[in-house]
A and B are shown apart, each in its own frame.
Chain A
Amino acid sequence: MRRLLFFLALTLASPALADSNLPPAYWANRQLPDPQKEAQAKALMEEIRCLVCQGESIADSDADLAGDMRDLVRRRIAAGERPSAIRSWLIQRYGAWITFMPPSEPATWPLWLAPLALLVAGAFVARARLKTRNRP
C-alpha cells in the first residue's frame, strides 16, 4: 500500500524545471495567414533540426527553443525572406548539421553515392545468383 501511494504521489509530481514559464512565441504554433507562405515555412521547418531533441525537426519538437525557431522562420518568411536565405543564416550559426538536407560537399559525397553503389553491388550479386541457378 505504501509503495502504491508512493508511485501515485510520483504521478502528481511536477516535472523538474527544464522549460521556461513564458508562453510560446507568437508564431510558434500559429499558421501564417497567407497559405503559400505557410507552405514555404512548413517545408523549411520540417528540414531544420531541433537543437534540443536532436533527432526531431523543429516542426515536430515541443521544446521551447524549437517553438522560438518556428517563430523565427515564420516571421522572416512573412517579411518576404526566401527560405534558402533563412537556411543559410542558420547554417552560418550552427553548421550544416542544422539541416536534414545536407549540402553536397566532399565530406557528404559518400552519403549521396552510397545508394548508387549499393544498387550496383546488388545487381552484381543478383546476376551471379541467377547465373548459377540457370546452369543445371
Chain B
Amino acid sequence: MKALRFVPVAAVALILIALVWRLANPPDPDVQSAMVGKQVPVFAAAAGLPEKSAVSSADLADGRPKLVNFFASWCVPCVGEAPVLTILKQQGVPIVGIAVRDRPDDLRQFLSSNGDPFERIGSDPESRVQLAFGSAGVPETFVVDGRGIIRMQHIGPIESSDVPGLVRAVREAR
C-alpha cells in the first residue's frame, strides 16, 4: 500500500518527461495534402498574365507528367526557388504555375527578375485552387502524372538537392 504513495510522483515525472520530449522534438508544422494518390480536383484558373496560357484540370491530364508549382510574387522563398525551377525546366520537366493571390503587374515583375520556367500560369486570387489541392502555403509543388493523378507533394522551396528526386518522380509518373 505504501508503494502507492509514489504513483503521483511517477505520474508527474512522466508528464514532465513527455513535455521535455515534445520541446526537444517539436511537431512538424507541415500540412500534408490528403489529395496525393487522387485525381486533381476539377478547376479552371484564368491566365495569370494575358500573354500566358490559362490552366484547367484538363490541362493537367494531357498525357505528360509535370510539376504544378504554387507560387506568388509576394513569397520570399519563391525567389530562392526560381533558379532551381529553371534547372528543372532545362532538364525537360514541364512546369505549370499557379500564382496565388497575385496581380499581373507584380507577377510580370517577378518573372522578369527571376526567370519564367512556366509553360502556363493560372491565377488563383482567392486561393481556391490551392485549397482544392489540399495545399497550405507557397511555395508548394505537386507531381502530377499523365492521367492527372497527384503522385507527390513537395512542401516548401525546392532546393538544388531535391532536383534529382523530382526529375525521377516525374519520369516515373508516366
Judged by a CB distance under 8 angstroms, whether B163 is at the interface is no
Q: Which of B82-111 contact A (CB under 8 A)?
A: 100-103, 106
With a cutoff of 8 Å between Cβ atoms, the chain A residues found around residue B134 in the complex are 92-94
The answer to whether B34 touches A68, judged by C-beta atoms less than 8 angstroms apart, is no
- Which residues of chain B have C-beta atoms less than 8 A from A16's C-beta? 76
**Please, which residue of chain A has its CB at the minimum distance from the CB of B35?**
A93
Residues from chain B with Cβ under 8 Å of A22 in the complex? 101-103, 125
Name the distance in Å between B80's Cβ and chain A's nearest Cβ. 13
Give the A-binding residues of B (Cβ under 8 A).
29, 31-35, 72, 74-76, 100-103, 106, 125-128, 130-134, 136-137
Q: 4 shortest A-B CB distances, which residue pairs?
A: A93-B134, A20-B101, A68-B127, A51-B136
Give me 9 A-to-B residue pairs in the complex whose CB atoms sit less than 8 angstroms apart, sorted by A's number: A16-B76, A20-B74, A65-B127, A68-B101, A68-B127, A71-B126, A72-B126, A93-B132, A97-B31
Given pairs A18-B74, A25-B127, A90-B131, 14 additional interface contacts (CB within 8 A): A17-B75, A17-B76, A20-B102, A25-B125, A51-B136, A65-B127, A65-B136, A69-B131, A72-B126, A91-B34, A94-B31, A94-B34, A94-B136, A95-B32
